[in-house]
Structure 1
Amino acid sequence: MKKIYFALAAFLMTAMAFSQGVTTSAISGKITDDAGEPLGGASIVAVHLQTGSTYGAAADFDGFYRISNMRSGGPYQITFSYIGFTDNVKNEIFLTLGRTSTFNVMLSESATALEEVVISASATGVFGASKTGTETTISQREVQTIPAASRSIADFVRLTPQAQVTEGNDGFSISLAGQNNRYNAIYIDGAVNNDVFGLAGSGTNGGQTGVNPLSVDAIETFQINIAPFDVRQSGFSGGSINAISRSGSNSWEGSAYSFVRNESLAGKTPPRLVGDGEEREKLADFSALTYGVRVGGPIVKDKVFFFLNYERQEDETPQPFNFSNYTGRSSQADLQGLSSFLVSSYGYDPGIFDNNTRTLESDRITAKVDWNINQDHKLSLRYGYTTADNLEARNSGNRNIGFINGSELFVSETNSLALELSSRFGNKFSNNFILGYTTVRDDRDPAGDPFPTVDIQDGGGTISFGAEPFSTANLLDQDVLTLTDNFEIYAGRHTVTLGTNLEFAKIKNLFFAFNYGDYTFEDQFDGSGNLVSSGLNQFLTGQDADVYQHGYSLVGTGVVGDESAGASEFDTFQAGFYIQDEVQMNDNFRVTLGARIDIPYWSDGSENDDFNDRTIPLLEAAGKNLQGARVGQGIDPTPMFAPRLGFNWDVNGESKTQVRGGLGVFTSRLPLVWPGGTYNNNGITGGFNFEFGQPFVADVNNQ
């Protein structure tokens, strides 16, 4: 998707682009004497007090200075000095992620002011001089103090007025600025953490299990951007969620924690679920337990630091069922008889049906090392590991009976690595380099032993057992490598940024629905509408199924399930290049002007020569405009151009009244599941049967 903002108006277009996040902060300003004359060569030294990290610069001939690639947060002590003048020291300074804080300083000659000037202040949140678009920044203090019932990023995204968060079986779905959740960008330490395939409602890796990618206790700060007119931030038309993980400091810190929720802490039935004449009731028993530990400290004081967090999540959600509410024809004795028949005739146990419990077990690890190489170079390395085991239990309701061994078992494992090198070269140049590598392994399987899917019409209800039909051959492997580099040139009132963002993705997707076979048995009636044979009787007496479905591989040796041949495998490469000039027009007015171009590339898939040579000419002869498309041909790389213009006006120069806005084009990433269908559905790797009146075959390898 593409998003264009102008003041308060928005216009949406379709497109594709790429992701990158901002991980640091900056300070800038002008240093003058009592008469307002610039003090060229004045020294600026900023010290991050918790780690001893030191950043320094000298003002240019016109008194302007800028220090980029600073660690966000604080507290900082910033000292402004010049020979023959009294130092100006600012304490308790906290810097906002992704923002440049302005400090214009006046120094007094030593002869008239014999003591250093000490000022306690903090970078303003709402009135930042570099702020042009719409954003919400959440500090570590807010992360730790705001009630977070789910312990997920969604708890904090709710603080953004443009956000809508909805909850489903797979966790939370986040919509920003009214856009589909797939059009958001999610970064952790500047590296993309999107579910690039686009199946998870949360938009995060492993999100189909409902697991969170990062422990809340491992978050330093994060930011939600809706329309930042900064060309470095892209890959979204909804919004971006940019999280920075914690780091160690010179102080040893640690904690052990546990969070428990159950039915006694959750109130009664939500009013929206209560029907007319019904009363709210206590919720059914459930348990949500999260516990963990974190520790951080110095390896070498003022030099090398570490942070480590481990978190465990154990959730159980029973789904009790009152059989007296079932509208179907069968009795409990009939269902027990069906279960016994399956065991004795086929050796298959369908499991229980009256209280199928959903479960989620997850382990999360975050490990980070920070190294202050020297005053000009800082290195950070983070490793993240998340594994989840989710049983999405099939449930029973008023109109359906679901046996538990027909449930979905989803196992996900994510490994991520992010390396960041921030460098300064004198007073005029700085560079920020981020390298990220993420592997995601999603394996969705049917619970229980392999068995065909069976649906039986049961009067006003349906009886279901056997494999969950969309889990029989379903796995997804993603390998994503990202590289981002931002080079800044500082020239007085101008800060020029040259940058690139490169993303490589390798995808393997296996999906054959109904791979074990799917059979439907319906009630049989005579011409007068009288029941002749129930669907259950049809199955028990070996009658043919009314409907039969089977998805299968056309290649390989005929093995079924996750070992099936015919998985689609393709590579994508996405390149973004951009330039930006941030101009301090005067002390109160700043303009940002930039542009970026994003170019996608898709590898070719398996060619279907028969379709290309025989069918396409017939379609084109019939007047169909296929625009040169061929089965197996990669998607055309259409460059996307995105100009940006933003401004910030501090009306009275006191950060009390501010006018800001801008104009920009925002292009989101394209969820790979959509074009991925062209690699799966090519007519030569997979087949599908839909038939009537087929005999039931229990052997999944002989469908």
Structure 2
Amino acid sequence: MRLQRLFPLLACVLTILVGAPGVAAQNSTTTGQIRGQVLGESGEVVQSAVITARNVDTGLERTGLTDQNGRYVIRLLPPGMYVVRSDVIGFEQRESPPVRVTIGRAAQVNLTLSTQAVELEGITVSADRPPIDVSDGGVTQYVGELEIEDLPALGRDFTDFINLSGLVAPDPGETTGGQFSIAGMRASQTSIQIDGVDANNSFFGENRGGSRIPFVFSLESIKEFQIITNGFDVEHGRFGGGIINVITRGGTNEFEGSLYGNFRNDALTSSPCSPGGTEVTTDYEVQQFSGSLSGPIIQDKAFFLVSLDGQRRREPQLPLTRERFGPDGQRPDPVLFDEMGEYFDVLSDQYGITSPATGYQPFETTNDAITLFGRVDWNFNQDHRLSVRHNYSNFSNDNEWNGNFDFDYGLSRAEEFTDVSNSFVAELQSVLGDNTFNVFRFQFSDEERPRQGKDLRPALTVNLSNGQQARYGGTFASYNNRLDERKFQFVNNFTQVMGNHTLKAGGNFLFTNFFNRFQNFGSQFQGAGEYRFANLEDFRNFRPSSYFRPIQEGGGIPTSEFDVFEWSLYLQDEWQVSPKLTATLGLRYDQQSFRDSPT
């Protein structure tokens, strides 16, 4: 076993923030805060007032006290709508209108208390724009519940909404989501966190599932997310471009449900699908469906949410056909028409391939996905809250085929790609005292990506007349290809408020097991090898002009299984020097070690 340090990182950042007072968000990867100031009618500071924030949907309550300047901060608030109430001897109780709390942000609620009982008609809050949280030194953009619910998403993938940000440059993939580049960095330098834990495929440097899959999480299960291009909270690390910080939905005190369906086929498309130019195919069809159900298990105590998202897609493919060279074909050529017939006869008679001509007819590519999501939240009391969720995704892409590379091969060059992933996450939020907080997270995830060619024999390439080639079999990068990735992750963040100092200490420990089997396709892009024939006569008599086969020294398919351990420790102090000056000092250490040789 060899220990290798790949990128130890020691970072020390000092940021001076000048503006309105307040302490920047702590433990805010999955929660938000409410902060503000409480004053009397004459503008005097109100000290030792009990401030209670109550979630209007779940009944969760968290409390805090105003300090000598009348200021308060209430931490560890799950995103949602909250009512803030003040209680203090000598002043009338005051309650604010509902205010929205979002991840990684602090909502501002200032209260003015009356010393005598009066009939209140209510408090009206109006502003041209949301207040700027000047104590937050990061550059972030927020995509909330309203945008996710109201804006159309053609592919049912929440990552489509990431492109709403001007901070992101899309890097389109095979489906709608693709990858995304942040701050001018490669897409592999973007990290996705869902519910405060890693949601990346470390081997390929992309989000779990990659760009081939329509979606990995049900859109019905996503509540909101942040796009962070830089920030001074030491909890965030292991990224060079930016972080997509996502949280999932939970249930409330009200039973709610949703249903969605979408159907489209070639009859609903403006022009027929024509992947080959003037040759027309039909039978295009896509169905998308989803649903969710949420509600209380115990009022104000325990809640559940389950959701499902699915897709069934059938897409026509048009390979090289004999009819293409027929009298009514796109490229009439009687010589090639006869040679294609002879080519099929040789495949059948000499090479034992049953009905080879059927593989050179239009066929369908499937693109099917199903995701199942479940979450339970339990408020043990005002101080402890447990959230547990599991996400399952199953994707199948049969007869995957690319006309730019596979046109001459027909169906024999197609492959099957599948991706099955699971992610289990538990989070415990604890208020250990008036000024002491802790958040613990655990994740187990695995992802299996087998990729297999339809015909693993070496490709047969035959030169026909007029420069045309006919080809059968072979693989590109799907010769018994398989990638499995399994992860265990532990994260803990401890926060202690000491006067004007807010101290945060934590660690992130990620253990990953990789299994990778991959046959290099070599310079000829043929993982299973290739026989080349100068003409049909040589093909009939099996006289190849050349043979190519990528091999590994010692034989067999290159296979590697290895473990990687990544860990980080960090410490941060946010010092409120004065009501208008906050200093942040952070120290973080990262290390990655290969427990086994990956070669």
- Fold-level similarity (TM above 0.5): yes
8 Å contact from structure 1 (residues 32, 107) kept in 2? yes
**What is residue 221 of structure 1 aligned with on the other side?**
224
Q: How many residues align?
A: 563
Larger mean Cα displacement after TM superposition, 490-499 or 298-307? 490-499
Q: Deviations over 1:485-527 (max 9, x none)?
A: 111112344322111111111111111235974114153xxxx
Larger mean Cα displacement after TM superposition, 282-291 or 432-441? 282-291
Q: Deviations over 1:574-599 (max 9, x none)?
A: 11111222344444554433231111
Alpha-carbon separation, structure 2, partners of 1:92 and 1:57: 18
Mapping for residues 219-618 of structure 1, pairs under 5 Å: 219-263=222-266, 286-320=284-318, 323=324, 324=329, 331-349=336-354, 351-391=358-398, 393-396=400-403, 400-448=407-455, 450-458=456-464, 459-513=466-520, 517-523=528-534, 534=535, 536-552=536-552, 554=554, 567-605=559-597
Query: Equivalent pairs: percent with the same residue?
Result: 28
8 Å contact from structure 1 (residues 89, 117) kept in 2? no
- 1:108: Cα distance to partner? 2.8
Alpha-carbon separation, structure 1, partners of 2:338 and 2:148: 53
User: What SS class does the counterpart of residue 403 from structure 1 fall into?
Assistant: helix
* TM-score, normalised relative to structure 1: 0.73
**1:158 aligned to 2:156?**
no
- 1:430: Cα distance to partner? 0.7
- 1:31: Cα distance to partner? 2.8
Alpha-carbon separation, structure 1, partners of 2:585 and 2:428: 26
**1:78 aligned to 2:84?**
yes
Alpha-carbon separation, structure 1, partners of 2:335 and 2:575: 76
> Structure 1 191/329 Cα, relative in aligned 2: closer, same or farther at 3 Å?
farther
**What is residue 4 of structure 2 aligned with on the other side?**
none
- 1:102: Cα distance to partner? 3.1
Alpha-carbon separation, structure 1, partners of 2:433 and 2:334: 82
User: What SS class does the counterpart of residue 550 from structure 1 fall into?
Assistant: coil
Alpha-carbon separation, structure 2, partners of 1:81 and 1:508: 59
8 Å contact from structure 1 (residues 21, 190) kept in 2? no
**What is residue 3 of structure 2 aligned with on the other side?**
none
- 1:331: Cα distance to partner? 2.7
Alpha-carbon separation, structure 2, partners of 1:439 and 1:540: 48
Alpha-carbon separation, structure 1, partners of 2:287 and 2:583: 49
> Structure 1 86/126 Cα, relative in aligned 2: closer, same or farther at 3 Å?
closer
**What is residue 24 of structure 2 aligned with on the other side?**
none
8 Å contact from structure 1 (residues 209, 388) kept in 2? no
8 Å contact from structure 2 (residues 219, 309) kept in 1? no
- 1:148: Cα distance to partner? 1.2
Alpha-carbon separation, structure 2, partners of 1:34 and 1:492: 27
> Structure 1 379/401 Cα, relative in aligned 2: closer, same or farther at 3 Å?
same
**What is residue 91 of structure 1 aligned with on the other side?**
97
Match 1:40 to one of 40, 47, 55: 47
User: What SS class does the counterpart of residue 248 from structure 1 fall into?
Assistant: coil
Match 1:109 to one of 107, 115, 127: 115
Larger mean Cα displacement after TM superposition, 399-408 or 239-248? 399-408
> Structure 1 185/332 Cα, relative in aligned 2: closer, same or farther at 3 Å?
farther
> Structure 1 596/157 Cα, relative in aligned 2: closer, same or farther at 3 Å?
same
8 Å contact from structure 1 (residues 328, 399) kept in 2? no
**What is residue 22 of structure 2 aligned with on the other side?**
none
User: What SS class does the counterpart of residue 367 from structure 2 fall into?
Assistant: strand
**What is residue 179 of structure 2 aligned with on the other side?**
173
User: What SS class does the counterpart of residue 493 from structure 2 fall into?
Assistant: strand
> Structure 1 374/360 Cα, relative in aligned 2: closer, same or farther at 3 Å?
same
**What is residue 20 of structure 2 aligned with on the other side?**
none
> Structure 1 283/242 Cα, relative in aligned 2: closer, same or farther at 3 Å?
farther
Q: Deviations over 1:432-470 (max 9, x none)?
A: 11111111111011125x422333344534433213232
**Partner amino acid, structure 2, of 1:570:** F
**What is residue 194 of structure 1 aligned with on the other side?**
200
**1:206 aligned to 2:205?**
no
**Partner amino acid, structure 2, of 1:245:** T
Alpha-carbon separation, structure 2, partners of 1:189 and 1:333: 62
**Partner amino acid, structure 2, of 1:307:** L
- 1:215: Cα distance to partner? 1.3
Alpha-carbon separation, structure 2, partners of 1:373 and 1:235: 33
8 Å contact from structure 1 (residues 400, 461) kept in 2? no
User: What SS class does the counterpart of residue 357 from structure 1 fall into?
Assistant: strand
Alpha-carbon separation, structure 1, partners of 2:237 and 2:332: 52
**Partner amino acid, structure 1, of 2:517:** L
Alpha-carbon separation, structure 1, partners of 2:131 and 2:347: 66
- 1:5: Cα distance to partner? 11
Alpha-carbon separation, structure 1, partners of 2:406 and 2:429: 60
Alpha-carbon separation, structure 1, partners of 2:345 and 2:389: 53
- 1:387: Cα distance to partner? 0.6
**Partner amino acid, structure 2, of 1:152:** D
Alpha-carbon separation, structure 1, partners of 2:134 and 2:313: 45
Alpha-carbon separation, structure 1, partners of 2:125 and 2:488: 40
- 1:484: Cα distance to partner? 1.2
Larger mean Cα displacement after TM superposition, 582-591 or 89-98? 582-591
User: What SS class does the counterpart of residue 317 from structure 2 fall into?
Assistant: coil
**What is residue 72 of structure 2 aligned with on the other side?**
65
**Partner amino acid, structure 2, of 1:106:** T
Q: Deviations over 1:648-685 (max 9, x none)?
A: xxxxxxxxxxxxxxxxxxxxxxxxxxxxxxx33xxxxx
Alpha-carbon separation, structure 2, partners of 1:45 and 1:579: 29
> Structure 1 548/26 Cα, relative in aligned 2: closer, same or farther at 3 Å?
same
- 1:403: Cα distance to partner? 1.5
**What is residue 528 of structure 1 aligned with on the other side?**
none
User: What SS class does the counterpart of residue 444 from structure 2 fall into?
Assistant: strand
User: What SS class does the counterpart of residue 492 from structure 2 fall into?
Assistant: strand
| Long gaps (5+) in structure 1 | 8-19, 524-533, 559-563, 606-678, 681-703
**Partner amino acid, structure 1, of 2:246:** A
8 Å contact from structure 2 (residues 281, 316) kept in 1? no
User: What SS class does the counterpart of residue 155 from structure 1 fall into?
Assistant: helix
- 1:30: Cα distance to partner? 3.2
Alpha-carbon separation, structure 2, partners of 1:262 and 1:520: 40
> Structure 1 348/588 Cα, relative in aligned 2: closer, same or farther at 3 Å?
farther
8 Å contact from structure 1 (residues 93, 122) kept in 2? no
User: What SS class does the counterpart of residue 339 from structure 2 fall into?
Assistant: helix
Alpha-carbon separation, structure 1, partners of 2:120 and 2:374: 41
| Long gaps (5+) in structure 2 | 1-6, 16-26
**1:182 aligned to 2:188?**
yes
